[in-house]
Structure 1
Amino acid sequence: MRKILFILAVMMLSLGIVALNSVSADSNDEVKSEEKADNEGHGKAGFFKSEAFLKYQAEELDIDAEGKDAETLKKEVKEAKIEQMAEEMNVETEGKEFKELAKEVHRQKVKEKADEMDIEAEGKEPEELAKEVKEEQLKKRANELAISTEGKELETLQEEVFETATKFEATVLGIDTEGKEWIDIHQEVQEVKVKQAAEQLRINTKDKDPEQLFDEILTDHADQAKKQKLFPFDKIK
């Protein structure tokens, strides 16, 4: 079985999954799918690992991207998102290192999710509570996707839920999934959604590949795409 590692981990809005040991500063499933692809050795660059998307995130967070390499900018974006979440949750940020703050934000988010799901948090260690919340969310999503949960490890169920959801979305978009690896299906889903978004935004798509269209959407039409809930803003709640 392939091991799934989610960097800054999973609080996927469409799937509603809370991470065990970290907190997501992202607001889209697609980011997680590309991290999953990287960790499984597929090595396919995705739209949400593109420079255009990174610069868009930086701009949204009022971060000056001028003269910064991708790694530096990615670090600043990550830190800014955690600080933003902390402020929204009224978590004190003064004098705290990033890892410490991220851990506090994660714990607070888990408690909020536990309250929403009527899960008793009293007397439970943060890791125990996070696991319980995640398991309940996974089971709920699995039931929605008609996936049997009986006797399955959490990691196995998580993978099955994600891959089933990916194939379901592909089917809705008219993409043939027969005999294809999930990462190839996911890539096709993204490409179809990019093209659809570009067409709805009246972008000239002639002789442009999906990466070029994605860049143009974020660079010149981000506000309109967000307003219309078009890719890559289609799953933001």
Structure 2
Amino acid sequence: MSRTSRKLGADAFLAAIPRKRIPQTPQSRRRIIFGAVLVSFVLSILVVMFAYTLAYAGWGPGSLPGLVNRGGRSGPAPLGDRLGAMFFHICLWILLILFIRQVIRHRLVAPKVAIDQNGVWLTRGRMIQQGLPWAEIAAVNVVGPGAQTRIGPEAASTPFIEVFPVNRAEETGTPLSARLVNAHPTAPGLRGKRYVIELLEPPPQELTATLNRFAREKHLVA
């Protein structure tokens, strides 16, 4: 299972998929705790920097504990220093706004499944979140609306794409592992535990053509 932030190629096939709730695992809980601690630490530093730069630009070092001018005085700072502090303060605001904008865009962009010359991926827009390269995929099966399948309706609804891994799949609390389903394999020699990626719309002919172009030997044909 690969996690990457690279972008897709221009010839990649993309299809909309429903959002999936990620089940909590000890590994995912550790990631959440670590992320919360890291974000809290960074935010505390930013708050201090925001306060100090604004106070220095507005009232000079006399308003800040432990801060003095280059000349050793605690009175008003030179105009150039105060303008520099204000410029730094504005830059902090710009960085913060850009970060928040990126996070919101990432959350609002609909998830998609993508297939390109490198493998099968879950994406946000054209940015890869997670997926499997072709070397780690044993087979891919496309199931159309209402087609017969060995997967029960409580696990996944057609249409969907089945991705059979070469190695045993593990529950890791990630977007890809949230789509793990264990059922009787579709063909002999494949693992029962595979990734089932539901589609919001019936699979177009382009999907079949893309699979045949990039991995014909791995494409299961009914």
Give TM-score scaled by structure 1 length: 0.21
Relative to its length, the structure with more strand (as a share) is 2
Q: Which has the larger radius of gyration?
A: 2
> TM-score, normalized by length of structure 2?
0.22
- Report which structure shows greater RCO (CA 8 Å, sep ≥6): 2
